[in-house]
Homo-oligomer: A and B are copies of this chain.
């Protein structure tokens, strides 16, 4: 189990994060969720989560680009390939063990988890997605996982569709997360009310350029598999691929989406007039969910929005933002509330994209609505009011604007956190 060394200030900060945990929600119809403590984690901590759809659902997923894909990534991809993104009945997630780099045995274990859920949903073919998170290189304790799945599916009350069940499910996938990440909302298309619910876990091994972490969201809208896949890809590209905690890409990262159509209405395809509305809704939702991962970055004390403007392309703008977000020097400066903007410029300069040094500008944008603080204007340093800079850096939230001056006019947003003593404590001692 995790041993955490909270300093009093960190404990206070973590406690404040309770404001990101919802006390109610608007959840999609036809999904039953829940979690229990299977015994993989010590101290009766929730470690096994299950979602069952009452109707076979369309499904899509994006997976890690890491070459050492974990067994659940390999198996979930096979399941989706085989069913063509149709007829998915469940998602099972365990925390505490990543089932990654576990060889042939690990693949067998992941397949057993799928089969165990398929039995519950009475499916003759593989119709379950599986995800795992936790330590790499250890085999799953199947003697705990398989009975746990059965218990979840067969014990009355363990699965359900109310807020408490969703919150319990979100807690079941946590590792070093300090709060469960759960978001829900409702929206209307063609007079039909739909809901979206999403869960994520994050904290460490978070880096863009891939699916990035474990999460899924489900809706009761009727969405064709191809439309769901393209919407998911767009949403992740503008949300989970725009966040960073520590720059490490996990072997297990998976974001999946299920749409069971339980709320009725016409099926949404890529040609539907409502396709763009749904894409917009899901992308905004995905950004909201992904930002919670940054809020709960391991040891994070700050939430930083990076806005990079006037790049030659969106990809360039995002590359600069990612370079800053992954700079250990930038992140430690933010932790130290040090307006050391030279480190922002430095990380911009090694991002490998076109910039115009004599037209580059950097500012702090306070999130309380007060005036922008210019740090660098057209390549020339401003005479910075350090007292004002310190004032701005006292706040938990900060926006940093970097204008590259290329004349290209493209921009990107990116969200990251700082790098604290607590991060080192957590990760120096993860397995103990």
**Contact surface of A with B, Cβ cutoff 8 Å:** 65-69, 98, 100-104, 135-139, 204-205, 207, 210, 246-251, 326-329, 332-333, 335-336, 338, 340-343, 345-350, 355, 357, 360, 375-376, 379-381, 419-421, 423-432
Pick the contact of A247 from B104, B205, B328, B333 — CB < 8 Å?
B328
Q: Give every chain B residue within 8 A of A421 (Cβ-Cβ).
A: 421, 424-425
Q: How many copies of this chain are found per oligomer?
A: 2
Cα A68 to Cα B350 with chains together (Å): 8
Pick the contact of A342 from B98, B340, B420, B432 — CB < 8 Å?
B98
A427 touches B332 (CB 8 A): yes
Give A356's nearest chain B residue, CB to CB.
B67
The smallest beta-carbon distance between A345 and chain B, in angstroms, is: 5
B136 touches A345 (CB 8 A): yes
Pick the contact of A332 from B66, B104, B376, B424 — CB < 8 Å?
B424
Give A330's nearest chain B residue, CB to CB.
B248
Cα A350 to Cα B67 with chains together (Å): 6
Cα A426 to Cα B350 with chains together (Å): 22
| 7 cross-chain pairs, A with B, having the tightest CB-CB distances, nearest first | A136-B342, A336-B428, A332-B427, A68-B349, A66-B349, A249-B350, A67-B349
The smallest beta-carbon distance between A286 and chain B, in angstroms, is: 22
Pick the contact of A204 from B136, B329, B432 — CB < 8 Å?
B329
Apart from the given pairs A207-B350, A247-B326, A332-B423, 5 other A-B contacts in the complex at a CB distance below 8 Å:
A68-B357, A103-B380, A251-B342, A328-B427, A419-B424
Give A327's nearest chain B residue, CB to CB.
B248
A329 touches B101 (CB 8 A): no
The smallest beta-carbon distance between A71 and chain B, in angstroms, is: 11
Pick the contact of A346 from B65, B66, B343 — CB < 8 Å?
B66
A348 touches B67 (CB 8 A): yes
List 19 contacting pairs A-B, 8 Å CB cutoff, sorted by A.
Answer: A65-B350, A66-B346, A66-B349, A68-B348, A68-B355, A100-B345, A101-B376, A139-B381, A248-B329, A248-B343, A248-B350, A249-B349, A251-B346, A328-B419, A328-B423, A332-B423, A336-B432, A338-B432, A421-B421
Give A100's nearest chain B residue, CB to CB.
B342
Q: Give every chain B residue within 8 A of A376 (Cβ-Cβ).
A: 101, 137
Give A381's nearest chain B residue, CB to CB.
B137
- Given A67-B348, A138-B381, are A429 and B336 also a contact pair (CB < 8 Å)? yes
B251 touches A429 (CB 8 A): no
B381 touches A101 (CB 8 A): yes
Q: Give every chain B residue within 8 A of A427 (Cβ-Cβ).
A: 328-329, 332-333, 336
Q: Give every chain B residue within 8 A of A210 (Cβ-Cβ).
A: 350
Cα A250 to Cα B139 with chains together (Å): 42
Cα A204 to Cα B347 with chains together (Å): 13
Q: Give every chain B residue within 8 A of A343 (Cβ-Cβ).
A: 136, 248
- Given A137-B381, A340-B135, A376-B101, are A347 and B248 also a contact pair (CB < 8 Å)? yes
Q: Give every chain B residue within 8 A of A338 (Cβ-Cβ).
A: 428-432
Cα A249 to Cα B352 with chains together (Å): 11
The smallest beta-carbon distance between A349 and chain B, in angstroms, is: 4
Q: Give every chain B residue within 8 A of A430 (Cβ-Cβ).
A: 333, 336, 338, 340
